[in-house]
Amino acid sequence: MTETLDLPSYSGSTYIAGEPGMFRDGAPVRPPAWAQGSTAELLATVLATGHPGARRLDAAERLLQECGGLAGLAQCVTGNREGAGVVPPATACRLAAALELGRRALLEPPATPFQVRSPHDIGPLLVAEMAALEQECLRVVVLNTKNHVLAMPTVSMGGISHAPAQPRDIFREAIRRNATSVIIAHNHPSCELTPSLDDLAATREIVAAGVLLGIEVLDHLVVARGGYISLRERRLGFG
């Protein structure tokens, strides 16, 4: 990228949420601490079965075990997997609504321009949109000089382990919008976050193409169920 651009700082990072306790005294604590709760404790709150906190937590833990975790539970309540009947219809309806509200909250455009300063800003949104896809998908986050998101086009969809794309396709929207930088993101349907050798080779090729075009590639994120990693942070494919 040319020396004249004055971009906000962008630092790579890896984010996987923690799960401290919330129901240890047998009753839910106040809302500000909900984000600190374990998956089972949060699920117990949504279940609202009328049982005391401890019994509700047992029911939540049993559901998670029978469905194979939160991702499996999401598939159960939407009927997208065998054995979906393990969740009672009324409970499935309540959980599906809660999951959809969370998804929409992430995807709804902010009132002010969405600025990306690190993977923490864009990573959760990409996980919500891409982690559950059964095919590999390549997306480009197009940014202006202040790192405000201008667009997030899907560049290609591939098989279970490959989403082919040419540099001209990757930078097309950035050129059209006179953007100064981009972030590349693709998902791993295998749920494996470790980048492949092909991922690293593609990153180097895209970064080099960006230099020729005067469009900086700030990062390449690999997305899977449960989180994402920044290749820039790990110095993979960048300089």
* DSSP collapsed to 3 states, the chain: CCCCCCCCCCCCCCECCCCCCCCCCCCCCCHHHHHHCCHHHHHHHHHCCCCCHHHHHHHHHHHHHHHCCHHHHHHHHCCCCCCHHHCCHHHHHHHHHHHHHHHHHHHCCCCCCCECCCHHHHHHHHHHHHCCCCCCEEEEEEECCCCEEEECCEEEECCCCCCCCCHHHHHHHHHHCCCCEEEEEEECCCCCCCCCHHHHHHHHHHHHHHHHHCCEEEEEEEEECCEEEECCCCCCCCC
Q: Where are the domains of the chain?
A: 38-107, 119-230
Name beta bridge partners: 228. Answer: 15, 223
Query: Considering only CA atoms, which of 104, 128, 107 is closest in space to residue 224?
Result: 128
Which pLDDT score is estimated for 58? 85
Specify whether the CB–CB gap between 116 and 140 falls below 8 A.
no
Which pLDDT score is estimated for 31? 43
Spans of the chain below 50 pLDDT: 1-32
Query: Considering only CA atoms, which of 217, 10, 235 is closest in space to residue 118?
Result: 10
Q: What one-letter code names the amino acid at 22?
A: M
Which pLDDT score is estimated for 159? 57
Specify whether the CB–CB gap between 226 and 131 falls below 8 A.
yes
Q: How far apart, in whole angstroms, are the C-alpha atoms of residue 109 and residue 100?
A: 16
Which pLDDT score is estimated for 77? 77
> Going by CATH, does the domain composed of 119-230 fall within 3.40.50.300?
no
What does pTM read for this prediction? 0.61
